[in-house]
Amino acid sequence: MSMLQEEKPASVFSVAKPPPSWVEWCERNSKPKSPRIVREKYVPTRWQTPGPMTKADWKYFYEWAGTRAMPKEPLPEPEKYDFPCESKILPCGRKTKTPDPEERVERLNNLAMPLYRKSSEKHQYFYPTHPYSPIIVWGQPPLHDKGRPFDPPKIPKCFPNEELEGKFWAELRFEVRKAALKARISPRIMSISKPKVMPPYPPHCVMPEHVYDVLDVKPPPRKKFTPQGWRLHQIRLIYLSKPVSRPEYEYFYM
């Protein structure tokens, strides 16, 4: 057994690992781009050529400036000629028309009327009227009965004698609908069929007795006022409810 320490294997963490794949991408794309300006080839005109102008160039320039660089001369004004006003050629020779007032009004009315293709008649609404529309159930809309009112019976204008008239009235019958024969009378319909009584009896609520004088009201059942104190309190309220009279104000300012 040797005294030297045994060599241990290197740790896994001490081994240098290769850099990840994204490091190379960041180093390549994180640097600023170098500006590359591609300049177009400039072609100068004939007047921008380097060097002095030749004699032929100066000659051409003076010819061009003498014709195009000078201001234009104003055109001469046309001469005015007095033409005779002939009725067949110019409108100034025609006679002025005096419009007829009736024809003018008729023309204006025709122009003020809208075109026939643009005018439309207004729609007329026809709302049916149902004279018999009772409310059978509270809170629901009224029931429109189209069969009422019934057509009155046909009565002859005159009778030959009283016997025929009495026979007619004795044999007169009113038609009853089949729905009415099968219907069940409810208390609501019974109340509607009865004539209305005004004022209603029995009344809907208790009507208080009429008080003819404020001072005749009995004091409330409490101990704050005596009967005499209650009466004096009512007299005080009547006095305070009246308008204030200011004789001095009326004397000096009215």
Write down the pTM of the prediction: 0.22
Q: Is the pLDDT of residue 1 over 50?
A: no
Q: What is the tens place of the pLDDT at every residue in 18-66?
A: 888 899 899 888 888 888 888 888 887 776 777 788 899 889 888 988 8
Cα dihedral sign for 222, 226, 231, 234?
negative
CA distance 144 to 129: 9
pLDDT band at 109 (very low <50, low <70, confident <90, very high): very high
The pLDDT of 181-206, averaged and rounded, is: 84
Tell whether the model's pLDDT for residue 217 goes beyond 70. yes
104 dihedral zone (left: phi>0; alpha: psi -120 to 50; beta): alpha
pLDDT-above-70 percentage for the chain: 84
Per the CB < 8 A criterion, the answer to whether 142 and 135 are in contact is yes
Q: Which residues of 91-112 are buried (b: 16+ CB within 10 A; e: fewer)?
A: eeeeeeeeeeeeeeeeeeeeee
Q: Which pLDDT score, from 0 to 100, does residue 252 have?
A: 65
